[in-house]
């Protein structure tokens, strides 16, 4: 097996129906001077794919999405860029998803790549595969990929130098997937409704008592705190501080998240976007995450914000 043959395997269409788990990790954005301190974004998504374009995605926490097309609907413009692509601001400006690895179009990162050696036979999550390190114009670092030997699906893509990795695991190939897998069934609708009820209860409970800072750069005239996710039993909260109207030279959007000490990061909505700037701290009772869009707080501003938090 050489790279040309492996690339031909990658472009083989259509890809088969498959269900499994997609995971990813990539670094968070900083201001170019190491602030905020280095952090990562991790995702885990259960998926089902039916060729050529149907997707069921379960992101956890009741967050489910469907992308289903009518049988006579042809390709869309976005299909041409749904494979493995890397933008000008990589590693921040991409949204990892299983469609990047399972795609009828492999993406320019692969079609324009050259190999640094012959592919090597490997095992990936119990499957026979081929692994190869590539040079591609899309990124300034080597791109390591693992390709399923039977189906031509990308099982993993990694750029070690920047801490980026996407991978598939727990794969099953059922041959065909029924229409019901890609419809809003009673179970899916009930999960969505339960998630929304929990959000509504939280918003009502904390409407007048959301724990927000007394100090904010540019003042708080534009603040409209709204609890949009969390859990009443554990005290987990995600609070939109405001969505627009921020003074110039301040963050354009802000989400404050409260969790129990020692918890794995809870980052709902755009707080999980690696282009968001994220500050973290803890007090005697809680750990806190502040996700900001547009720019981070300075160390001095962050100290004033954390020092103005209410006792809880």
Specify the higher pLDDT residue, 190 or 49: 49
Mean pLDDT on 76-99: 79
With H, G, I as helix, E, B as strand and everything else as coil, classify residue 132: strand
Q: What is the pLDDT of residues 214-267, one digit of tens each?
A: 999 989 998 989 999 888 999 999 999 997 778 888 899 999 999 999 998 888
Contact status, residue 132 vs residue 145, Cβ threshold 8 Å: yes
Task: Look at the chain and count its residues.
Answer: 312
User: What was the pLDDT predicted at 38?
Assistant: 83
Contact status, residue 227 vs residue 241, Cβ threshold 8 Å: no
Whole-angstrom distance, CA of residue 29 vs CA of residue 41? 10
- Please name which of 223, 244, 205, 203 lies closest in space to residue 308, comparing C-alpha atoms: 223
Mean pLDDT on 266-294: 92
Contact status, residue 55 vs residue 67, Cβ threshold 8 Å: yes
Contact status, residue 138 vs residue 112, Cβ threshold 8 Å: yes
Is the model's pLDDT at 81 over the cut of 60? no
Is the model's pLDDT at 201 over the cut of 60? yes
């Amino acid at each position: 097996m050489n790279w040309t043959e492996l690339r031909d395997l990658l472009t083989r269409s259509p890809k088969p129906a498959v269900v499994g788990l997609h995971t990813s990790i990539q670094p968070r954005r900083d201001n170019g001077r190491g602030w905020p301190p280095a952090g990562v974004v991790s995702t885990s998504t259960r998926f089902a794919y039916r060729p050529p374009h149907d997707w069921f995605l379960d992101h956890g926490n009741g967050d489910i999405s469907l992308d289903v097309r009518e049988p006579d609907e042809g390709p869309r413009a976005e299909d041409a860029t749904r494979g493995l692509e890397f933008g000008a601001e990589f590693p921040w400006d991409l949204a990892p998803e299983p469609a990047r690895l399972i795609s009828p179009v492999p993406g320019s990162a692969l079609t324009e790549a050259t190999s640094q050696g012959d592919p090597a036979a490997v095992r990936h999550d119990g499957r026979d595969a081929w692994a190869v390190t590539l040079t591609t114009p899309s990124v300034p670092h080597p791109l390591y990929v693992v390709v399923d030997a039977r189906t031509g699906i990308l099982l993993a893509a990694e750029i070690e130098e920047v801490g980026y990795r996407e991978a598939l695991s727990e794969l099953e190939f059922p041959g065909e997937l029924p229409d019901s897998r890609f419809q809003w069934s009673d179970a899916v609708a009930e999960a969505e409704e339960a998630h929304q009820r929990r959000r509504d209860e939280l918003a009502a409970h904390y409407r007048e008592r959301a724990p927000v800072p007394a100090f904010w750069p540019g003042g708080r005239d534009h603040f409209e705190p709204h609890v949009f996710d969390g859990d009443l039993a554990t005290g987990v909260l995600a609070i939109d501080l405001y969505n627009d109207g921020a003074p110039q030279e301040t963050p354009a959007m802000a989400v404050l998240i409260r969790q129990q000490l020692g918890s794995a990061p809870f980052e709902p909505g755009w707080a999980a976007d690696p282009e968001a700037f994220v500050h973290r701290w803890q007090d005697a009772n809680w750990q806190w995450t502040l996700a900001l869009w547009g720019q981070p707080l300075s160390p001095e501003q962050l100290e004033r914000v954390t020092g103005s938090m209410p006792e809880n």
